[in-house]
Structure 1
Amino acid sequence: MRKIIAGLFISLDGVTEAPDQWHFPYFNDEMGAAVGAPMMDADTLLLGRKTYDSFAGAWPDRERDAGEDAAFAKQLGDMRKVVVSRHDLKFTWRNSEQLTGDLVEAVTALKQQPGGTISMSGSVSVIRQLLAAGLLDELQLLVHPIAVRTGERLFDDGDAVPLKLLSSQTFSTGVLNLVYAPAATPGAAGYDEAKAHLPQ
């Protein structure tokens, strides 16, 4: 079964909204490599409509302009792009299609199709739903050392979401590159269990 790997820029206080307003001062070669790595093995992008609109409004022009990022723009253009939306969409960016039907059922079917890794960028509401359904295999959080204080956060009110840390890396900018996978709910414990680990 294909893997779904999602990546997000996130602030220290959990904000993921409008990273273009606070993220770029922290972008360096380390982050560029970390962001690009999941794309290298992927042949499909799964995106929410807002993220898709942002990508489609920028990357085709960058490919046509043949600038420094044209090769990456072409790679994105060549990939299959599957867009989650409740509304009928019309596409101008090549290799784009709309996910139809129930999200969980449709993504389950997508994972069962032949192909490589399915990559996600942004699309917080979709990531939440896939985590809850157990369909997300890895979640890469690029945690920026800034408290944005306003905007949509990754996790809203609801049930706990247990995760296990797969890898961690600290960039020279102070950004943490943390990769998580879903985990089983930890067993019940309280202070009586914890106090055994305190200094005596």
Structure 2
Amino acid sequence: MRKLTAGLFISLDGVVGEPQEWHMPYFNDEMGAAVDAQLTSADTLLLGRRTYETFAGAWPQREAEGGEDAEFAKVLGDMRKIVVTRQDLTFTWRNSERLQGDLIEAVAALKNEPGEGDIAMSGSVSVVRQLLAAGLLDELHLLVHPVAVRKGMRLFDEGEPPIPLRLISAKPFTTGVVYLVYGPAQTAAAGA
């Protein structure tokens, strides 16, 4: 079974929405390497519609311009990209397709397809929430930024059942960002 990973920028107070408004002051080579490693271990990207539109609006142009991130842009372009959407889309970025059928059933089937690489997600918060709740996400990569944004979409909604997770790794960066990787846990950890 293929591994499904999701990467998100998140504030100390749990905000994941609109990271372009608060994320960039903390971006450095350490963070770039973490994002690259999570995404380039995959041969398939699973993206929500808004994330796909943002990526498709930026990465093909970066690849064509041949700048410093052109090689990474080419890697993304060469990957299979599966978009979760209810809307009809015209795919302008190569190797892009729409996820067919029910999200949970289709992702479970995708994880069972043969493949060498992981299936990676970036952003796509509503999709991440659904896959976490369904137990289909194998790793949640959180880049926790040392800022309280105090408004915006949070990763977890109030009133939903708990989702127990276990810490796989933790690494602080020089900017104060902490890179946390979580996986599913069978039950919540007992307190000491």
TM-score range, shorter chain: over 0.9
Runs of 4+ aligned residues of structure 1 deviating over 3 Å after TM superposition are: none
Counterpart contact for 2:78–2:94, Cα < 8 Å: yes
User: Which protein is bigger by CA-based radius of gyration?
Assistant: 1
Aligned to 1:135: 136
- 2:182 match: secondary structure: strand
Aligned to 1:159: 161
Aligned to 1:24: 24
What is the TM-score of this pair, normalised by structure 2?
0.96
Aligned to 1:46: 46
Pairwise CA distance, 1:152: 0.3
Distance 2:99 2:92 in 1: 16
CA-to-aligned-CA distance 1:138-166 (integer Å, 9 cap, x gap): 00000000000111000002111110000
Pairwise CA distance, 1:15: 0.4
1:181 and 2:183 matched: yes
Distance 1:91 1:40 in 2: 22
Aligned to 2:35: 35
Distance 2:128 2:153 in 1: 13
Gaps in structure 1 of 5+ consecutive residues: none
- 1:76 match: secondary structure: helix
Aligned to 1:81: 81
Distance 1:72 1:40 in 2: 8
Gaps in structure 2 of 5+ consecutive residues: none
Aligned to 1:125: 126
- 2:149 match: secondary structure: coil
Distance 2:60 2:120 in 1: 19
Counterpart contact for 2:165–2:188, Cα < 8 Å: no
Distance 1:43 1:7 in 2: 15
The residue type paired with residue 42 of structure 1 is A
Pairwise CA distance, 1:186: 2.8
Distance 1:163 1:48 in 2: 23
Give % identity: 69
Aligned length: 190
What is the TM-score of this pair, normalised by structure 1?
0.92
CA-to-aligned-CA distance 1:33-74 (integer Å, 9 cap, x gap): 111111222100000000000000000010111111100001
